[in-house]
C-alpha cells in the first residue's frame, strides 16, 4: 500500500525505499528473493513444496509480520465543551527536524525538499498561496508543511485541518502524514469538503435541526421521494433532482421550483435524511446563524490547508471564509491551469482572487517537475500556453536522460484506434500471449520492463469505452475502469447500499460483509444480475478493505465518494479512466485517445463557448501531464458517436505542440485479433 504495485516491489523498487517503508528485515527478504538466495523444501504427492526466505533460526524470536500490519491503538473520544469537541493534549513532540518520507515515483530521489518546496513549508504564519504545477510535489509539500508545524513549531495535530476534494486524495494525505509524524502521535483531521460538512453536522445535529441518527440519502432514496411527492417517471424525477440541486446551490434561479424544494426538504427531514448538497448548505447556514459556533471552530482549527484550491466552488469558498477569515493561517495549494470541474460548479476565479480575499497572503511557485521527461514537460507547456491562467507559466523538467518523442498517430476508426492501442501496448510490455509472438505483432527484442499497472488509457467521455474494452478483452489484457461519477449511482452499488441500510454489525470486517451481501442478494433474486453485483463488489472492495470493521465509515465513503476513489493502484491491470478521473494520478505510459474536434474539446454539436474551450484545453494539459515517460496521442479519421458516423478532424490542441517533439507514424492497417490455432513448431 505504501510502495505501489506488487511487481514493482518484488522486482524493481530500490531497496533503500523498501527499507524506509517496511524496515530492514523486509529489505533483506527482497534482496534474497531477487538474488535467488532462498530455502527450497520439495513437495510430494498431495503436498505443495515450500520456498522460504529465512531459515527458522534466523527469525525465531523476531517480530516479522506485526510491524507491517499493526492495528492503530484506539484513542478515546473527547467530551464536547460548548458544543465543539475540544483539542486533546498531544504527546511530547521531538525537537528533531521533520522526518523525510520515501519519495513518490517521479519525486526527488534523495527525499529532500527543493528550495521552492522548503520556502512553502517554512512559510507558516498568515495566509499562503502555493501555485504548484503538475509533478512539482504538491502533496509532498503540503504534508511536509503540516508535519513542520507539528514537529518544529509546536502546533498540536488536532489544531490542523486539511481539506481536499476526493476520499482517495484524503486517504493519500493521511498515509503520507502518518509516515512523517512520530509513531503513535495523534493525526490532523483530513477530510473532503463534504466530509467536513458531515462532521460538523454530526457534532451539531441538534443545533442544525437534525435527528441524532440522521444519515446521507442514497440516490435511490432521493429519487423515490421525488417520484412519490410529484408522481413523476424515473427520468423526470432525475431531471427534477438535478434542477433543484442547481437552484439550492445557487447556480441558477428558478422561482417556480421553490415549492417543490420545500416539499422535498421536508420529506428528507421526516425520514431522518440529508442529501449530498445538505452537507455544505446546512453547515454553512448553521455557522452563519451561530457566530459563537463559528468562532469555536475557528479556535479548534487555527491552521487550515486546502488541497486542489482551483476546484473550489462558491459554497465551499463561503464555508472556508467562515472558518478562515482574512489574516487566518490558511494555506491554499493548487494550479489554476488544472481547473477542470466547471461543470460541477467549480470557479477558478476563486483561486485567482485569493490575494484579494486574503490581502496579507504570500505566494510561492513550485516549478520543478519531478514526474515527466523533458519532452512531455515542454509539450504540456506548449499545449497550455494559449490559455494559461498563470502569468509566465514555467515548468522545468528535473529528470535526466534521453526521452522518447510523443507518438501522434491516426487510425481509420474508433475500433481501429482501439486495436492500435492494444498492438502498441503489447509491444511495450513484451507480449501478452503466445499469439503475440506467433502473429509477429511482438518480437523477441521488445522490452518486457513494463507491467499492465504502468499503463493508463485516458478518454474524454464514457461513450468512447466500448471498443477499448472489446479490444482489451480479445487480447486477454486485464483492466480496471473508473470514471468521476458518484459511486452510489451505479445499479449494483445501489442494491448493496439498500442491503446494508439499517444493519447494525460490530466487529466483523466490512470486506466479509460485502461478500455475504453479494451471496444473499444473488440468491434472493430481484436485484441486479451474479455479474452486476460482482462488478459492484469489486469496485467497492478497496474501500471495504480500508474501512476494516467500520461499516458506518464504509457507507459514508460510498455516499461521499466517486468511482475513482475505488481505483486500486496495486491492481495488475491497465487503468481505463476519463480525463477527469485521472486528475491526481500518474503513470509511466499514457494513451490519450479520441484527440478530435467535438471530443477534445468536447461539444454537443456546437462550437462551445470560449470558457468551455478554455477548460477543455486545461483538461488536455492534465492528460499530457499524467504521463511520466511515454505518451501516445491517437485520433481517428471517422468516428461513430450517438448513432451517427462522421468524418473526424484532429483536435485543435494538437497543433500547439512543436513538430520536433512529435513522432508521426503512418496510419496502420490492423485486423482485429481473432482466435487462431498456434503453430505447433
The Cα-based distances of 293 to 161, 207, 677 in angstroms read 17, 10, 73
Contact 220, 489 (CB under 8 A): no
Residue 525's pLDDT is: 59
Q: Work out the number of other CB atoms within 10 angstroms of the CB of residue 241.
A: 19
Report the 3 state secondary structure along 146-158: HHHHHHCCCCCHH
Residue 158: pLDDT above 60? yes
The whole-chain average pLDDT of the chain stands at 83
pLDDT at 625: 97
Element of type H or E holding 56: helix 56-59
Q: Is it the case that residue 359 has pLDDT exceeding 90?
A: yes
**pLDDT value at residue 679:** 57
Higher pLDDT, 328 or 85: 328
Grid look-up 486495436 returns 419
The per-residue pLDDT for range 192-243, each reduced to its tens digit, is 999 999 999 999 999 999 988 898 888 888 889 999 999 999 889 989 999 9
Residue with C-alpha cell 485520433? Answer: 635
Peptide bond into 601 cis (omega under 30): yes
- Alpha carbon separation from 465 to 185, 479, 576 (Å, rounded): 45, 12, 8
Contact 226, 237 (CB under 8 A): yes
DSSP codes, 383-427: HHGGG-SSTT---EE---S--PPEEEEEESSHHHHHHHHHHHHHH
Residue 626: half-sphere exposure toward Cβ, Cα within 13 Å = 29
- 90 pLDDT tier (thresholds 50, 70, 90): very low
If we measure between CA atoms, which residue out of 280, 270, 276 comes closest to residue 211? 270
- Closest Cα to residue 568, out of 545, 594, 534? 545
Report the range of poorest mean pLDDT among 270-274, 357-361, 481-485: 481-485
Q: Note the pLDDT tens digit of each residue in 60-79.
A: 555 444 333 333 333 333 33
Percent of the chain with pLDDT over 90: 52
Q: What's the rounded Cα separation, in Å, for the pair 516 and 512?
A: 6
Q: pLDDT, tens digit, for every residue of 436-493? A: 444 455 544 445 578 899 999 999 999 999 999 999 999 999 998 887 777 777 778 8
Please state the φ and ψ torsions of residue 324, each to the nearest 5 degrees: -135, 85
Rounded CA separation 372/622 (Å): 12
What pTM does this model have? Answer: 0.77
Least confident of 18-22, 231-235, 530-534: 530-534
Amino acid at each position: 500500500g505504501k510502495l505501489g504495485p506488487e511487481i514493482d516491489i518484488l522486482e524493481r523498487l530500490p531497496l533503500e525505499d523498501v527499507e524506509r517503508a517496511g524496515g530492514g528485515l523486509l529489505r533483506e527478504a527482497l534482496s534474497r528473493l531477487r538474488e535467488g538466495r532462498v530455502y527450497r523444501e520439495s513437495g510430494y504427492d498431495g503436498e505443495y513444496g515450500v520456498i522460504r526466505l529465512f531459515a527458522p533460526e534466523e527469525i525465531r524470536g523476531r517480530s516479522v509480520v506485526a510491524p507491517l500490519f499493526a492495528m492503530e491503538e484506539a484513542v478515546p473520544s473527547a467530551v464536547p465543551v460548548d458544543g465543539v469537541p475540544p483539542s486533546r493534549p498531544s504527546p511530547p513532540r521531538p525537537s528533531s527536524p521533520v522526518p523525510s518520507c520515501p519519495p513518490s515515483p517521479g519525486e526527488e530521489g534523495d527525499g529532500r525538499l527543493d528550495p521552492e518546496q522548503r520556502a512553502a513549508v517554512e512559510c507558516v504564519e498568515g495566509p499562503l498561496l502555493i501555485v504548484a504545477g503538475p509533478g512539482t510535489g504538491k502533496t509532498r509539500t503540503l504534508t511536509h508543511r503540516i508535519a513542520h508545524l507539528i514537529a518544529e513549531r509546536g502546533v498540536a495535530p488536532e489544531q490542523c485541518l486539511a481539506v481536499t476534494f476526493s476520499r482517495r486524495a484524503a486517504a493519500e494525505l493521511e498515509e503520507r502524514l502518518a509516515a512523517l509524524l512520530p509513531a503513535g502521535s495523534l493525526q490532523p483531521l483530513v477530510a473532503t469538503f463534504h466530509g467536513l460538512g458531515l462532521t460538523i453536522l454530526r457534532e451539531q445535529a441538534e443545533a442544525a435541526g437534525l435527528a441524532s441518527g440522521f444519515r446521507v440519502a442514497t440516490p435511490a432514496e432521493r429519487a423515490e421521494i421525488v417520484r412519490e411527492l410529484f408522481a413523476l417517471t424515473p427520468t423526470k424525477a432525475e431531471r427534477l433532482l438535478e434542477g433543484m440541486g442547481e437552484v439550492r446551490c445557487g447556480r441558477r434561479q428558478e422561482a417556480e421550483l421553490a415549492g417543490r424544494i420545500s416539499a422535498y426538504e421536508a420529506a428528507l427531514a421526516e425520514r431522518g435524511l440529508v442529501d449530498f448538497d445538505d452537507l455544505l448548505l446546512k453547515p454553512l447556514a448553521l455557522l452563519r446563524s451561530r457566530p459563537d459556533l463559528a468562532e469555536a471552530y475557528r479556535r479548534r482549527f487555527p491552521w487550515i490547508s486546502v488541497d486542489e484550491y482551483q476546484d473550489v466552488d462558491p459554497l465551499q469558498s463561503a464555508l472556508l471564509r467562515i472558518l478562515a477569515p482574512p489574516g487566518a493561517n490558511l494555506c491554499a495549494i493548487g494550479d489554476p491551469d488544472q481547473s477542470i470541474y466547471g461543470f460541477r460548479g467549480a470557479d477558478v476565479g476563486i483561486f485567482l482572487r485569493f490575494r484579494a480575499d486574503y490581502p496579507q497572503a504570500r505566494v510561492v511557485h513550485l516549478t520543478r517537475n519531478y514526474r515527466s521527461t523533458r519532452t512531455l514537460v515542454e509539450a504540456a507547456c506548449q499545449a497550455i500556453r494559449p490559455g494559461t491562467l498563470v502569468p509566465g507559466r514555467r515548468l522545468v523538467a528535473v529528470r535526466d536522460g534521453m526521452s522518447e518523442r510523443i507518438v501522434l498517430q491516426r487510425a481509420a476508426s474508433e475500433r481501429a484506434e482501439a486495436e492500435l492501442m492494444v498492438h502498441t501496448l503489447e509491444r511495450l510490455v513484451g507480449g501478452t500471449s503466445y499469439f503475440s509472438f506467433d502473429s509477429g505483432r511482438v518480437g523477441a527484442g521488445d522490452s518486457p520492463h513494463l507491467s499492465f499497472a504502468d499503463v493508463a488509457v485516458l478518454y474524454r467521455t464514457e461513450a468512447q469505452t466500448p471498443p477499448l474494452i472489446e479490444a482489451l478483452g480479445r487480447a486477454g489484457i486485464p483492466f480496471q475502469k473508473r470514471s468521476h461519477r458518484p459511486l452510489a449511482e451505479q445499479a449494483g452499488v445501489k442494491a448493496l447500499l439498500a442491503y446494508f441500510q439499517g444493519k447494525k454489525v460490530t466487529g466483523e470486517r466490512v470486506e466479509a460483509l460485502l461478500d455475504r451481501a453479494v451471496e444473499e442478494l444473488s440468491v434472493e433474486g430481484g436485484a441486479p444480475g451474479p455479474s452486476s453485483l460482482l462488478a459492484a463488489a469489486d469496485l467497492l472492495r478497496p474501500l471495504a478493505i480500508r474501512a476494516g470493521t467500520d461499516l458506518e465509515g464504509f457507507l459514508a465513503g460510498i455516499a461521499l465518494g466517486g468511482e475513482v476513489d475505488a481505483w486500486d493502484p496495486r491492481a495488475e491491470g491497465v487503468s481505463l479512466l476519463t480525463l477527469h478521473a485521472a486528475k491526481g494520478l500518474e503513470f509511466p505510459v499514457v494513451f490519450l485517445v479520441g484527440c478530435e474536434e467535438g471530443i477534445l474539446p468536447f461539444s454537443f454539436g456546437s462550437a462551445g463557448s470560449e470558457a468551455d474551450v478554455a477548460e477543455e484545453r486545461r483538461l488536455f494539459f492534465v492528460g499530457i501531464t499524467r504521463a511520466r515517460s511515454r505518451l501516445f496521442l491517437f485520433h481517428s479519421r471517422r468516428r461513430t458517436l450517438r448513432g451517427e458516423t462522421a468524418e473526424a478532424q484532429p483536435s485543435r490542441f494538437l497543433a500547439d505542440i512543436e513538430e520536433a517533439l512529435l513522432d508521426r507514424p503512418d496510419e496502420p492497417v490492423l485486423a482485429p485479433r481473432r482466435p487462431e490455432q498456434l503453430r505447433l513448431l
